[in-house]
Amino acid sequence: MEANEYIPIDFFCKQHGVEVSVISTLHAYGLIEVYRMEEIEYLPLAELADAEKLIRLYDELEINPEGIDVVIHLLKRIKEMQFHIQLLENRLSLYEENA
């Protein structure tokens, strides 16, 4: 585990003004990954933006972990659907150009 690829959870929580238990709760629901090394828990830097989004949903909007799971699932579905719509529009434009 590279030290520069992770951030200690206690530091992350201090920077965002939340309790460490919030991260533990989100981790228990499988919403974020937490790694433990030598009794210190870390967040991967690659997931930092997602962790910040989850903290805002949990803390500022007061959405419970089950609700956050639903929101994240719906956002992923929307993104997938937008991708498929774009593909279909591109295919349709090929047919329109040839007509």
What number of other Cβ atoms are within 10 A of residue 75's Cβ? 11
pLDDT given at position 91? 93
Q: Residue 56 carries which side chain, given as an amino acid letter? A: R
Q: How far apart are CA 79 and CA 87, in angstroms?
A: 13
Q: Which domains does the chain have, with CATH numbers?
A: 3-98 (1.10.1660.10)
For CA atoms 79, 71, 55, 1, give the dihedral sign. negative
User: Which pLDDT belongs to residue 3?
Assistant: 57
pLDDT tens digit sequence for 20-78: 999 999 999 999 999 999 889 999 999 999 999 999 999 889 999 999 999 999 999 99
Residues 6+ apart with CB under 8 A from 50: 32
The alpha carbon of residue 98 and the mean position of all alpha carbons in its chain are separated, in whole angstroms, by 42
pLDDT (tens digit per residue) in 22-33? 999 999 999 999
Separation of first and last alpha carbons in the chain = 57
pLDDT number for residue 97: 78
Which of 49, 86, 55, 78 lies closest to 68 in space, CA to CA? 55
